[in-house]
Amino acid sequence: MANDLQQLKQNFISGLSNISGFWGFPKGMGAIFAVLYLSPGPLSLDELVTQTGLTKGAISTNVRGLSRLGLIHAASQLGDRKDYYQAETDFYRAVRAILQERRNSDFDRAVETVRLTLEKLESDDNSDPERAFLVERLRALKDFFDALDSLVNAVTRLDGLGLHTVQTVLKILK
Amino acid sequence: MANDLQQLKQNFISGLSNISGFWGFPKGMGAIFAVLYLSPGPLSLDELVTQTGLTKGAISTNVRGLSRLGLIHAASQLGDRKDYYQAETDFYRAVRAILQERRNSDFDRAVETVRLTLEKLESDDNSDPERAFLVERLRALKDFFDALDSLVNAVTRLDGLGLHTVQTVLKILK
DNA sequence: TACTATGTTTAGTACAAACTAAACGTTCTA
DNA sequence: TAGAACGTTTAGTTTGTACTAAACATAGTA
């Protein structure tokens, strides 16, 4: 019975670990978040150690990452030197945080390179047919990135409404 | 001049390699796609070898992956035993293909696990307060996944309209 | 049939990333 | 001030993955 619940929890934890790995995050992150998400109250680092099976070091670094992403929050309690953590339960907020996090990444830097390259090419003469071809292709790519960018921006700004609003709108569209 | 163009191309190729790696795909994939995307005509495997610096083996496996994702297309020419490849230029189609590809992945399998777990928990009695808490949390998570799922489905179905339509709608929303 | 051209598969290597174990630095307490 | 309680940092190990080099399979050509 209680054993049964424990089994389900364990299942959930390993499942979320895999999801985490799938999206390019450390699996430990997924495990830690899973444990916190299924816990009614905040947990200390040591409790995370026992419940995840990871070592203090791993917990320490992963917890930092999760905090930076806004997926968990530190909740230090007065008169207690321990740090306590709890999971963010508003996933939409978490998604927005993650999207913003990724803005200053290799990705956007590379996109910026494309933009600059295109600007330079377009300003020069493009009587050269090969050059004209390049301009055409890069422009299509840039337009695509711009669209993605707007999409991310829009989602990032959806403060009160959740993703379900977007879903509804999209359903109306077709 | 022509050197200049070559420089730009090289820049673009390495840039796309990084983007590829960032999203969890092999960097070679990005490089190959970049080369094909900047080529006016289809390229053979050997040409890809020389232009990317990768070996035949790497090209072979990566090309298979890109084909599966719908990011490039094989274009065998009659009377020529060589395989030729060209880049897909409709990015929206490519995005849809990638989203569909990811449907049968670890991710969706894990999500399914959550759904089943929840079903089982909800059907049983939940007089146990701990159990009731679990149900509440899992339900919130499931709702979130459902919303994401609908979003993906909607995007997948956007056949004629591109993402820019979505963008426009979102801009109207706020 | 031998030889060539082409793409795939395999065995091994190199590298990056996440983790463990343990040393370390702080801060609180006796 | 000594010691304990915590969290962080570091050095080293493990692991997974993308790549190279080369053997292989297949089909076309002399």
| CA–CA dist B85, A110 (Å, integer) | 24
Task: Please report the pLDDT score of residue B46 as a whole number.
Answer: 96
Output the CATH code of domain A2-89.
Answer: 1.10.10.10
In the structure, how far is the CA atom of residue A72 from the C1' atom of nucleotide D3, in angstroms?
33
Task: Please report the pLDDT score of residue B81 as a whole number.
Answer: 81
Half-sphere exposure of B21 (CA within 13 A, CB side): 12
CA distance A65 to chain B (A): 17
CA distance A55 to chain B (A): 25
CB pair distance less than 8 Å for B8 and A134: yes
Nearest to B38 among A5, A134, A166 (CB): A134
Nearest to B167 among A21, A120, A147 (CB): A147
| Residue numbers in B near A138 (CB within 8 A) | 12
Q: Binning pLDDT at 50, 70 and 90, where does residue B172 land?
A: low
Residues, CB < 7 Å to strand C: A 25-29, 53-58, 61-62, 81; B 44-46, 56-57, 60-61, 63-64, 81-83
Residue B8, classed as helix, strand or coil, is helix
Mean pLDDT of chain B: 83
- Cross-strand bridge partners of residue B44: B84
A4 contacts chain B (CB < 8 A): no
A148 contacts chain B (CB < 8 A): yes
| Residue numbers in B near A90 (CB within 8 A) | none
For the segment 52-71 of chain A, residues whose CB is within 7 A of strand D: 56-57, 60-61, 63-64
- Residue span(s) of chain B under CATH 1.10.10.10 come to 2-89
Nearest to A130 among B5, B167, B174 (CB): B5
Task: Say whether pLDDT at B141 is over 50.
Answer: yes
In the structure, how far is the CA atom of residue B128 from the C1' atom of nucleotide C15, in angstroms?
50
C-beta neighbour count of B28 within 10 angstroms: 23
| CA–CA dist B40, B90 (Å, integer) | 15
A113 contacts chain B (CB < 8 A): yes
Task: Say whether pLDDT at B80 is over 90.
Answer: no
C-beta neighbour count of A128 within 10 angstroms: 14
CA distance B79 to chain A (A): 28
pLDDT along chain A (174 residues), means of 10: 78 89 90 96 96 97 95 85 93 80 69 84 81 92 82 64 57 52
CA-wise closest residue to A27 among A19, A17, A16: A17
Q: Which nucleotides of C are covered by protein (CB under 7 A)?
A: 5-11, 17-23, 27-28
Region for B24 from its dihedrals, namely left if φ exceeds 0, alpha if ψ lies in -120 to 50, beta otherwise:
left
| B107 vs B114, residue with greater confidence | B114
CA distances from A17 to A25, A69, A89, B137 (A): 9, 16, 17, 17
CA distances from A41 to A38, A47, A84, A87, B73 (A): 9, 12, 9, 9, 53
Name residues whose C-beta falls within 8 Å of residue A80's C-beta, 6 or more positions apart in sequence. none
A163 contacts chain B (CB < 8 A): yes
CB pair distance less than 8 Å for A154 and B174: yes
Task: Please report the pLDDT score of residue A174 as a whole number.
Answer: 45
User: What's the ipTM?
Assistant: 0.81
Task: Please report the pLDDT score of residue B52 as a whole number.
Answer: 96
Nearest protein residue, CA measured to C1' of D22: B57
**pLDDT tens, A6-55?**
888 898 899 899 888 888 899 999 999 999 999 999 999 999 999 999 99
| CA–CA dist A57, A46 (Å, integer) | 11
Do A27 and A18 touch, CB atoms closer than 8 A?
yes
Do B41 and B59 touch, CB atoms closer than 8 A?
no
DSSP secondary structure of B90-156:
-HHHHHHHHHHHGGGSHHHHHHHHHHHHHHHHHHS---SHHHHHHHHHHHHHHHHHHHHHHHHHHHH
Measured CA to C1', the nucleotide nearest B82 is C6
